Each structure stands twice: as structure tokens, then as C-alpha cells.
Amino acid sequence: MTDPPFRVGFARAAGYAALLIAALQALGPVLWIVIGSFKSKADFLVNPWRLPHTWLFHNYVDAFVVARVGDYVWNSLTVVTLGLCILLVTAATTAYALARFKFPGRGLVTVIILVTMMVPSDVLTIPLFVVLRSLGMLGTFLGVACLYAASGFGISVFLLRGYFMGVPREVEEAARLDGASTLSTLWYIVLPMTLPGFASVAVIQAMAMWNDLYLSFVFLRDPASATVPVGLLNFFQRDSVDWPRLLAALTALTVPVLIVYAVLQRRFVEGLTAGAAK
Amino acid sequence: MTRSRAPYVLLLPGMVLIGTFLILPIGYGFWLSLHEFNGIVVGHWTGLSLYRRVITDAGFHQALWHTVAFAAIVVVGKNVVGLALAVLVSLPLRGVRAFRTILFLPVTLNIIVIGAFWTYFLAASRFGGLLNQALSAVGLQGLEHSWLGTPATALLCVSCVEIWRWAGLHMLIFLAGMQAIDPSLYAAAKLDGANAWQRFRHVTLPQLRPIIFVSTLIALMGAFVRSFDVVWVLTRAGFGTQVVVTYLYSEAFKFGHFAQATATGYILLVIIAIFAFAYYFLSNSGEQHD
Amino acid sequence: MSGKARVILGVIALYLATLGWHWIHASKQGRASEGTGVKLVVFGPSSWDGFAPGAAEDVVARVTGELDAGFRIEHPQVKQIVHDVRGPVADGLARLRNAEVAGDQLDVVVCAANPVNTSYARGGLIAPLDTLVTRIRERFTPGAVENFTVDGRIWGAPLSAVNLTTFFYNKDLFADVGAGAPKTFSAFQALVPKFRAANVIPVVHQGKNAWMWLFYYMSALAQATGNQQVLFVERMLDGTTKFTDTTNVHALQLARNWVDDGLLDAQSNELDETTMKSVFYSGKAAAFFGDTWDIPGITSNVTFHWGVFPFPQYDSESGHPEAFGGVESGLCVSATTKQPALAEAYIEFATRDENARRLLQPLGAFATSHKNIVEGDDEISRELRTQLPAAKFLDWIFPPELTDFMQRQMQAMMGQTQTPEQTAANIEAKYQTLVRAGYVYKPTGSASPAATK
């Protein structure tokens, strides 16, 4: 490095400071949730910011035993996994076609995908009802999973297309010359090289599906099929929202999500550069 | 699978999915918006008269104006903050990787909690609002304000919360893009004597162009189509924050004007299409590769 | 392919197995029971629409269970009664509509009187119930049946507590400034400097929920029109009187005085129901104007002495204070039910005095829909009973688009961003838009619904 040591030290300090500020503003609500989850209802209402009068753990127990949060988690996991599988398969293939192949109608397909991203779900409620009912998928996890996949499709295709376009062509040509089919090229060559991007898309979409309230509220009306966001609505009872219990449920739900994200993040999003091909 | 048929085979799964679950409903919905429809019974043909009614409604104009302002702030904000965060967490500092997880946190949060937290945070100091309390603590009482209760600042605050909420996601998008940049390009720039800022401007940014395009597209869609949640929990769409999607929701579910709401949705689609395609052709990034 | 890949495949296989089970499981749920016997579905569009609302969960389960058991003894062919009561209040209409559109089985609908008047009846979501209710009319108070009468037809059988708008106040804080419940506006006004000195907010309001601001307007209008507010509103709606009429503007000004004279916190628009109540429960504010449905929340959260008092008398006005309210909810028949006779039988059974008494008893209500059921004997209930009979909520008369608009206008006015004159002018303009779009006011008594579009 040609920079003098003083400047490096300063830059480093500035970097840390910026990171710290950024982290604090991201952590604020999380700390609030965690602190709130240990309070009693009255304690929370009086002052939601300060530390609990007494640290109570029963909110967590109540959340899982009384409010049956575990059931919601199970349902959410099911729908999200299903939706993610459908989405990744369809989006990867479509994105690859758009990224690497010149064919008549390519522009049209792009436009169609763009347009489908622009319609708010409210508007499609009734038509979707009709479609799902004719397919016999109303109220099923598969139906909602397909809807999730369809809503995330446009964004995923564009993101993946962007990442695929960054892969050097020589590698694919080499594979093609060796006799690999298009699908094999996609699976064995392109995907590993774009793993950070692919993983990011998976993470982002999983998050969106996990947090979706509208589609699951409208299409999974059976209480036994409620996903997490729908189930959390039940905390908003008639007269008194049990905030601490709700916050306990949210903490319990956010922590595993974060762990999964952190693990995936380390494994895939960083460090696996495109240099592997060289 | 022959070479020439490959793209069509690849496209098949995706097209089946969106064909059934998006294109078909969109078409059917459009057909519905041309009739009188109260949510259960389809009435007689009304043609485009519902569209005309929406376009001439003052409430719609206001909502549209708010949405455009909101989108402008949010799209720029998400990109700038997201990119800044991505750069920040790519710095050669120790322990920087932990921050990648921390900064992604807001994306994982439930909207109800986000609403509750920010409502409490921005409230008046006597109601326990931290921001106002902090301002008066450092002697800036004059700046204390009803942030979410005043028309001008309410929209700004809602935009900021939306940016705050999604910055981590854009950070992730940019990070993944930055990972794919060929390190030899940086090495070459360094040899040419470029400092960090110049390397960023001349290597990182150009390489990220397709990613920036996608990020903007996502931000644009989010601002127009998926902004319901954040507006609703913070202000219940009052105080100058009524956006087109909340307007649509009121029409459909409060007043039962389903067909009119659907018409609003399609008008929104046309408007976004104009924005998106303008951006698409301006940035031209579709033409850059192959 | 390494051990890692095998692990991944194993996990995927496990997931697929679970998915398969859940898929089958979830598919079965949606269909009607395939066993022998009949299934009855009692639907509550939101979590507010159940039996004994507000009572503890186990109490609700117990009384519902007892009712159902009794019904099945009388109707042995009924093998299963399902209660589907969930969701936030704001989404109730959407939930009901979605369920009917989806073709779910819906027989009895527990519905709140407000949406019955503003959307369910005219929206074709419930079926008229004239024959049944006329037959069992004797059970109910006359006002209760009135609450469920829309356009001259009866749409539901009332079964609930009566609710009433009222002020809630912190007796301890009032005692600290040497006062009891204020009877007049000026008496209340005189307390403001004392509250200020004690660093207490006199009155707060859940201003973020625009719809609650109408309570102030209604109360002011009642006094400004010499208690002829219903007639006055009808004249505004059929065009005889304008919304910019001096009486109406005066009523708006009276409401606005709460803020201008320092009684009502000027930043109430920041507060929703949770934050407002937390300000009251924690003793930062001395009073709020709400409704008796707030009582269960107050009793379970408050640590000080509290009481109720009616809306104060404006000294200058000829009218006396009125409390607004009515029967809260009742039972209706879904428009899409395939078993209307059975649904009606259930409703008839539930509204019998002995059964209704069991359902209403946990509420300890000061007044109910039934003549012979009167619970609450405490001081609060007695005080509330003196404010009966309740006047009709005015927003049940306005068309929903206008109500929504008026709520927002009130919100802006009470937030001090526009004057009462401006507010009245805006409302008149909106009314004219609706008229041009085809709105015609049809007073109760006509058989066809008012055209609103």
C-alpha cells in the first residue's frame, strides 16, 4: 500500500464508526423487541423503552403453548420451501434463457415479465380465486406456494439474469464444446459460478414469502393452515393487544431466521469469487 | 435438445407458472374491470367508464402525486444507502462480516413491529417518543415536531422508514454483484495509480450497471406496488400519505367498489410501465451484453 | 457428489415428505365434512365477532360449548358446529367477502351492527331475517331491532351488550386538582391550567384512527341542533341543507374548541388505540373520549381509580348532551348458506333468554339487547344506564365514501391544519361529487338500497 500509515488509521476508524452507526440503527427495533418480550403487559404500556421492571420469561412459554406459534412456523416452513423450490427452478431457467440466448420473442418475454411485476395483489384477488378454484388448489399449500413463486418470479429473473450475464462466456463455450447440454451447463458451470447471486435471490425471496401477509390471509383461510404472519394477527385481540407476548413470539421467530441467514451468508455470498474458472 | 430449441425449453416452466398465476388473472381482472362488479356478482358492461371515473377523481390525483414523490425519494434512497452499505461491509476491516448479518436485520422484521417501533419512536416526547426526547435533551427543542402527524413530514418519514427497511436487501444485491467483479480489474487500476475512490468510480460502478438497473427496478416496483404495509402501519394512510395502493384498498374493501379498484390497479400498471420502460430504454443495459 | 450433497438431499427428501403430508392435510380441511351428519359453520369476520367478546379465552370457549351442546340436543342431526372467528377488525369485511366468494361454507355470521348498516346488508353479504326476528321480537329491546334495520328490512337478530360513547377519566388525577367529573365544558376548561401545572394532559384521543373523530362531531352536533341531529343529517343528505350551513359549521367549531382551548392534546393525531391507552394507563393523561367497549381493557390494565362521565354540556347550546351507541352485534344469516333453515334455528336458539343470558353474563354489561337481561350492578354500570337511551350513530346514515372523507377532514381540522369553515366546505364539495355520480339519499322505509355509485 502506498498510503501513509496515518491515513490508513484514520480511514479505518472512520470505517468502524460508520459501521457502528449503521448497525445501531438496524439493531434498534430488534433490541426494542427483545427487551419488550421480557416485560409484563402493564410494564410495557407504561414505558416501552426502558428496561423491564422484572424480567419475565412466561411470555415465551405463552407464545408457544397458548398462542401455538409453533404450528404457524411449521406451516410457514412448508409453504416457503415449496414456493422457493418452484421459484428457483422456474426463475433460473428463464433467466438463463434471457441472459444467453438471442431468439425471436426475447424482447416480448422480457416485457411480459416486467408487466406482471407491476400489478398489485389486491387487484388480482378475485381473478386468483377463480383460477385457483378451477384448479382445485384453493386453500392448499401448493396453491399458495405457486402464488408466492409467481409474485417473486419477475424480480428473481431480472436479478439472476444480471448475475448470469457476469459469467465469462469462454467457460460456457468450453463446456459446450465438450458436449455438455444446455441444462448441464446451467447446473454444473453457471450456477456454481453465480452462487453468491443465486443465494442472495433465494434468501431475499424466502424472506418475502415468509413475511407475506396478504396472500396467505386471503387464500389460506383455514386456521389450521395459518402461516406465521397470519397467526401473529391473532395476537391483536379485541381489547388488549398482548404486546410482550407478541414480541416474544417475534423474537423467537426472528432469531432462527437470522441464524439461517448468517450461515448462508457466510457460505455463499462472500468469498466464492468468479475466479474459479480461470 | 438442439441448440436452437434450447431457449424455448428453458422458458417453458417459467411461462407456465406466470401464465397460469399471473397473466391469466391479469387478463380476467381486466375483463372484470370493464363491468360493474361488487365482488360477488358481475353486472352489466360499463366499458371504460370506470377508468374515466378514476382518472377524474381528485382523490386519485392526490394519491398519485404522493406515490410519485414517495417513489422518487425511496428509489434514490434505497440505491444510495444500499450501495454505501455494501461498500462499507466490503472494507478490509476486521469483524466486518458480522455487520453483514446485522445490517440485514430490518429486512427480516415483521411490518407490525416496524410500525409499532417507528410510531413510538417518532411520537411527541410527552408520549414517549425517543427522537423528540433526544432532540430536547441536546437542546434542540425547536426541532421537535409531530413527525407523523404533519402532512409534509409524514410522507418524508414514511419514505425514510421504507428506505431503512429495505436498505439491507439492496446491500445484499450489490454485495453479490461486487463479489463477481474480476479482481484483476482492480489490480490493473491500482497499478495505474488509482486511489480507492477512483477505483470505485471507474471499476466498481461500471461493472455494477446491470445490478443497479435491477436494484432500481425492484425499488420502483416496491414503491408503487408494495407500499401498502409501511404506509398503513405508520399513518393509516392519513396526513398526506395516501398512496395509490391504499386508495385502491379503500375503494375495494371499505366502499365495495371492486371494479373501480381493479380499474385503478390497471391504471397504476400503465403508469409504472411508462416509468419502467422509460428507465429501461434510457439505461440501455439490455443491449450492452451479447 | 459428497456426503454434504447427500445430507442436502436427505433434508430435501424430509421436507418433501412433510410437504406431501401437509398438502393432503390442508386440502382436506377446505371441504365440508364428509362424515354422517350435518355441519354448521358460525363465522366471525373478525376477532371481535364471537360470543362473549372481550371475556377471557377459556370463558368464551365454555359458554360457546354450552350453547352448541344445547343446540345439538334439540337438533341431533347436527354433528359438528365450527366457529371461525379471527382477524383484525379492519379486515372483517374483506374476510367475509373472501370467504363467500371462495365458496366456503358459511351459515351463521356473527356480525357487528356497524358493518351491517354500512356494508353487509346493501353489499349482498347477508340475507334478510324479517320473518324470524318479527316472530321473536318480544325478546329484544325496541332499539336493538332498530339497530339492525336497514332500508326497512331486518337483517340480524341482536345479541350483545349495548355500547355507549362516554368519557373515561382518572379519578386520582382529577382529585389531585380538586375536581370531580365535569358537567359542563366551561367547568372542564377551568381545570386546564391546574392540569398543566401538574404536568398532566387533560384529554387525549386516538387521532390516528380517523374514524374516532366523528364522536366529537356527533356529540357537538346533537347539542347544536337541539337534539335534532338525525333530522339535520337527513336534510343535509337529501340536499335541503348544505354542509356549510351555519349550524353545521358551528358544530365543527364546538368540536374544534376542545383543541383550541387546550383541553385536547393538539398532537392526538399521532396516537392510535394502543399508544393512546398507554398514555392514559400510565397516568400521563387524565381522560379520553371513547366507548364502553374500552372497559374490559381498562379494568385489566389500570392501577388507579377510574370512572366515567357523559360528554359535557356546552354552555351556549340548547341541546343537552347525548350519548351515542346501540347494540353492538348480533347474528345474521350468510347470503351464501345452503342451510338457511338450520341457520335461522340456531339464531332462534341462541337468542332465547336463557341461552342469551349465559352468553351475555360474562360481559357484566350495563345494558343488553334483551329486555330481560341486565347485568352490571356496579357504580360504573349504574352511571352508564342513566345515559340511556342511546342516540343512533350518525355515520350509519352517511354513505361510506362520505363518512370516510368526513373522518379525514375531522382529523385534519382537529390537528389544526384547517379551519371548521374549510372543513365544512370540503365536505360539501365531496357530497356534491357523490350526488353528481348518482348518490340519492333514501330514508329508512324504502325497500331498495340507496344508489351510491
Tell me: pLDDT of C309 over 50: yes
B239–chain C nearest CA distance, Å: 8
Q: Count of residues for chain C?
A: 453
Average pLDDT of chain C, as a whole number = 86
CA distance B69 to C250: 37
- Pair B60, B247: CB distance under 8 Å: yes
CATH 1.20.1250.20 holds for C38-160+328-376: no
Give strand pairing partners of C333. Answer: C108, C127
**B196 → chain A, closest CA residue:** A3
- The phi, psi pair for B152, rounded to 5°, reads -65, -50
| Residue B157, Cβ density class (10 Å: 0-12 exposed, 13-18 middle, ≥19 buried) | buried
Q: Which secondary structure element, helix H or strand E, spans residue C40, and what is its range? A: strand C38-44
pLDDT at B262 over 80: yes
Using CA atoms, how far apart are residues A149 and A91, in angstroms rounded to an integer? 9
How confident is the model at residue C449, as a pLDDT? Answer: 35
Percent of chain B past pLDDT 70, that is, above it, reads 95
Q: How far apart are CA C269 and CA C412, in angstroms?
A: 9
* Segment C341-347 mean pLDDT: 94
Nearest to C123 among B122, B256, B260 (CB): B256
pLDDT for residue C11 is more than 80:
no
What confidence score (pLDDT) does residue C27 get? 45
ipTM of the complex: 0.80
Q: What is the largest CA-CA distance in chain A?
A: 71
Residue numbers in B near C275 (CB within 8 A): 119-120, 123, 127
Give the integer Cα–Cα distance in Å for C335 and C340: 9
pLDDT mean over C1-21: 59
Measured between CA atoms, the residue of chain A closest to residue B13 is: A90
Omega before A127 within 30 of 0, i.e. cis: no
Contact between A19 and B89 under an 8 Å Cβ cutoff? The reply is: yes
Question: C325-327 and C78-85 as β-strands: parallel, antiparallel, unpaired?
Answer: unpaired
Q: What is the mean pLDDT of residues B1-15?
A: 76
How far is residue B231's CA from residue B157's CA, in Å, rounded to a whole number?
10
**What average pLDDT does this structure show over A86-102?**
90
Residue A70 φ then ψ, to 5°: -55, -40
Residue pair C308/C169 in contact (Cβ under 8 Å)? The answer is: yes
Asked whether the beta carbons of C200 and C193 are under 8 A apart, the reply is: no
CATH of domain C163-325+392-436: 3.40.190.10
Q: In terms of C-beta density within 10 A (0-12 exposed, 13-18 middle, 19 or more buried), how is residue C6 classed? A: exposed
Residue B56 pLDDT > 80: yes
Beta carbons within 8 Å of B15's beta carbon, 6+ residues apart? A94, A109
Domain boundaries, chain B: 57-288
CA dihedral (C67, C68, C72, C77) in degrees, to 10, reads 150
CB B229 within 8 A of CB C378: no
Q: Pick the closest to residue C360 from C158, C177, C89, C122 (CA basis).
A: C158
Q: Tell me the C-alpha distance between A147 and A82, whole Å.
A: 11
A14 in reach of chain B (CB within 8 A):
no
User: Which residues, including other chains, have CB under 8 Å from residue A53's CB and lie 6 or more apart?
Assistant: A39, A40, A43
Ordered structural domains, chain A, with CATH: 67-234 (1.10.3720.10)
Answer whether C208 sits within 8 Å of B236, measured CB to CB: yes
Distance between CA atoms of C453 and A71, rounded to whole angstroms? Answer: 44
Contacts 24+ apart (CB under 8 A), C291-295: C291/C163, C291/C164, C291/C165, C291/C166, C291/C215, C291/C325, C292/C161, C292/C162, C292/C163, C292/C164, C292/C166, C292/C325, C292/C365, C292/C366, C292/C384, C293/A238, C293/A239, C293/C54, C293/C163, C293/C328, C294/A239, C294/C168, C295/C380
CB-based contact, B126 to chain C, within 8 Å: yes
Closest CA of chain A from B186, distance in Å: 13
Q: Rounded to the nearest 10 degrees, what angle do helices C214-224 and C246-260 cross at?
A: 130
DSSP one-letter code for C293: G
Closest CA to A240 of B120, C299, C376, C169: C299
Longest CA span, chain B = 74
Is the pLDDT at A121 greater than 90? The verdict is no
Task: Decide if B169 and A204 are in contact by the 8 Å CB cutoff.
Answer: yes
Arithmetic mean of pLDDT, C332-343: 93
Predicted confidence (pLDDT) per residue in C355-399, tens digit: 999 888 888 788 889 888 877 788 888 888 888 888 988 988 888
Nearest beta carbon to residue B38 from set C93, C123, C269: C123
Selected for mutation to probe chain C from A221, A232, A242 (highest C CB count within 10 Å) is A221
Give the percent of chain A with pLDDT over 70. 89
Yes or no, beta carbons of B238 and C270 under 8 Å apart: no
Alpha-carbon radius of gyration of chain A: 23
Bridge partners of C140? C370
Chain A, chain C: beta-carbon pairs less than 8 Å apart = 94
| B37: amino acid identity, one letter | F
Chains that touch B (3 or more CB pairs under 8 A): A, C
* Stretch (H or E) spanning A262: helix A243-264
Q: How many CA atoms lie within 13 A of B33 on its CB side?
A: 24
Cell of A225: 393452515
- Cβ-in-10-Å burial (0-12, 13-18, 19+) of B189 comes to middle
Name the nearest CA neighbour of A41 among A232, A239, A252: A239
Domain boundaries defined on chain C: 38-160+328-376, 163-325+392-436
Which residue among C91, C275, C433 places its CB closest to the CB of B123? C275
- Per cent of chain C over pLDDT 90 is 49
B239 has pLDDT over 70: yes
Q: What is the 3-state secondary structure (H, E, C) of A48-79?
A: CCCCCCCCCCHHHHHHHHCCCHHHHHHHHHHH
- The radius of gyration of chain C's CA atoms, rounded to the nearest angstrom, is 25
Separation between Cα atoms, residue B37 and residue B43, nearest integer Å: 6
Of C23, C102, C281, the CB nearest to A140: C23
**pLDDT for residue A148:** 93
Residues 6+ apart with CB under 8 A from A84: A149, A202, A205, A206, A209
Contact status, residue B22 vs residue A116, Cβ threshold 8 Å: yes
Look at residue C450 and tell me whether its pLDDT is greater than 50.
no
| CB-side neighbour CA atoms (13 Å) of C240 | 7
Q: What is the pLDDT of residue C4?
A: 53
Top pLDDT among A274 and C432 is at C432
- Higher pLDDT among residues B151 and B39, named by residue: B151
Mark residue A271 as left, alpha or beta (left: phi above 0; alpha: psi -120 to 50; beta: remaining).
Answer: left
The whole-angstrom separation of Cα C166 and Cα C321 is: 11
The candidate with the shortest Cα–Cα distance to C84, out of C109, C112, C103, is C109
Tell me how far apart the alpha carbons of residues C279 and C286 are, in angstroms, rounded to a whole number: 9
Return phi, psi of residue C322, to 5°. -120, 145
Instruction: Give dist(CA C327, CA C356) in Å, integer.
Output: 14
Optimal mutation site among A3, A80, A93, A122, interface B, most CBs of chain B within 10 A: A122
Using CA coordinates, name the residue in chain A closest to B223.
A118
Highest mean pLDDT among A97-106, C21-30, C31-40: A97-106
Q: Which of A6-15, A73-82, C184-193 has the lowest mean pLDDT?
A: A6-15
For B57-288, give the CATH class: mainly alpha
The number of C-alpha atoms within 13 Å of C47 and in the hemisphere containing its C-beta is 20
Per DSSP bridges, beta strands C38-44 and C108-112 are parallel
**Is this prediction's pTM over 0.95?**
no
Radius of gyration of chain B (CA): 23
Dihedral of CA atoms A214, A220, A223, A228 in degrees, nearest 10, equals -50
Which residues share a beta bridge with C289?
A: C167
What would the mean pLDDT of A40-64 be, rounded to a whole number? 78
Cell digits for C206?
Answer: 386516538
- Cβ of C219: how many Cβ atoms within 10 Å? 26
Measure the CA–CA gap between B15 and B1, rounded to whole angstroms.
Answer: 19
pLDDT tens digit sequence for C163-177: 899 999 999 999 999
Question: Which cell numbers hold the place of B228?
Answer: 401498502
